[in-house]
Amino acid sequence: MKCAGSVGDTRTDRSGGTFVLPFLFPGICYISFRFVYLLSNPVFLLSLSSTADLRMVQSVLFVCYENICRSPMAEGIFRYMVEQRGLQHCFSISSAGTVDYQSGSPPDERAVEVSVSGGIDISSQRGGIAHLDLLSYDWIFVMDNRNYEDVLSLFPAGTVPPVYMVTHFLPDGAGREIHDPYYGGVSDFEHVFQELCHALGYVTDIVSGGA
């Protein structure tokens, strides 16, 4: 006799009667038992939590002096790199300056020009200033030693600030400064753009876990 709703297979025996192959029903019972077991297993639940953590949005901030040259280019380059990897949903990306002289201003026209030449549009960015909400960022990348000291001074005593030179992960020249091109020409901006592309390739590898 076949149970209503069972998943057993029906076959005809040599006498012409029918019987239910039982091997499928125990399989379903095992799967159900296994599912309940996994849900009650703390190790399994922890692994789910870890997977969820990996999918959390990471906040990344780039900082220079006035937020019109280096950090807007860095923001644009990094945004482009994570988009190329299909990881734009994994990051919240912004930039800021350590002073407010250019707050609300667009990036320097030379920074915009050089970035566009590299296939990146930063023209819609507007200058901002690094505030005390720095604690909300997972990664803060600065351009030079002065930026580094200025940003560190904004953190409360006793904290471990997630502040790095943008070149921190370079295998060659880690920690070197990216100099301000403001008083130079377009060629100086082009040089900074290339330096940032090189450094941010490694940054992207690290902060995205090599994805």
What's the one-letter identity of residue 140? Answer: I
Greatest distance between any 2 Cα atoms in the chain: 99
Instruction: Please report which residue ranges of 86-209 form alpha helices under DSSP H.
Output: 109-117, 145-152, 186-207
- Among candidate residues 69, 70, 110, 144, the one labeled active-site is 70
Tokens of 166: 């943008």
- Residue 64 is among the residues annotated as catalytic for this protein: yes
Tokens of 24: 């499928």
- Among candidate residues 11, 53, 64, 146, the one labeled active-site is 64
- Among candidate residues 79, 108, 110, 180, the one labeled active-site is 180
Write out the E strands in 56-171: 58-64, 91-97, 139-142, 163-165
CA distance 175 to 107: 25
Annotated catalytic sites, by residue? 64, 70, 180
